[in-house]
Amino acid sequence: MITVAVVDDDRMLLDGMRSWLGSVPELRLVATAGTVGELLAVPAGPAGTPPDVVLLDLVLRDASAPADNIRRLRAAGSRVLMISTVPDRTRIIEALRAGADGYLTKDNDLPTLVAAVKDVVAGHGAHSPNSPSPAPMTTAPPGRSSRRANGRSCSTTPRA
């Protein structure tokens, strides 16, 4: 069972994610929050363990820096899958450099989201099939590969 938390300041999205993820037997939604601070203030997983994956909105109303949010969640022991309406290559690369494990735009369907969460837990990166690829920049930490959520690999090494 993969434990998941969602951090987004859109209440409708949080309610929708509760419903959506509740229908996936291999995932368990353990927490939702409007900010990273709110999520970290309460132990979310079984026996107070951090969730395996946090779905994190790129831009939150509390004006927190995405890179700081990613680093805080990684330090707490969770993998981070960014979710956003912004398919901006520069922001994707910045999020990945800060330690995010992947980036999905919010217009993807449930099977794509589930595949991305599974890829992230397996140590792979995951990227929206329709988002700009982070390649040719180095984005995956050593020992971790990157692939689009539709299963196709994408390069994570610099090109000459």
Average per-residue pLDDT for the chain:
81
- What pLDDT, on a 0 to 100 scale, did the predictor assign at position 128? 76
106 Ramachandran zone, left/alpha/beta (phi>0; psi -120 to 50) = alpha
- What pLDDT, on a 0 to 100 scale, did the predictor assign at position 57? 93
State the Cα–Cα distance between residues 21 and 148, nearest whole angstrom.
Answer: 20
State the Cα–Cα distance between residues 60 and 66, nearest whole angstrom.
Answer: 8
- Specify the residue for token string 């390649």: 135
- What pLDDT, on a 0 to 100 scale, did the predictor assign at position 85? 86
Domain 2-148 CATH assignment equals 3.40.50.1820: no
Stretches in the chain below the pLDDT threshold 70: 43-47, 130-160
* Nearest partner of 3 among 43, 34, 37, 35, judged by Cα: 43
- What pLDDT, on a 0 to 100 scale, did the predictor assign at position 90? 86
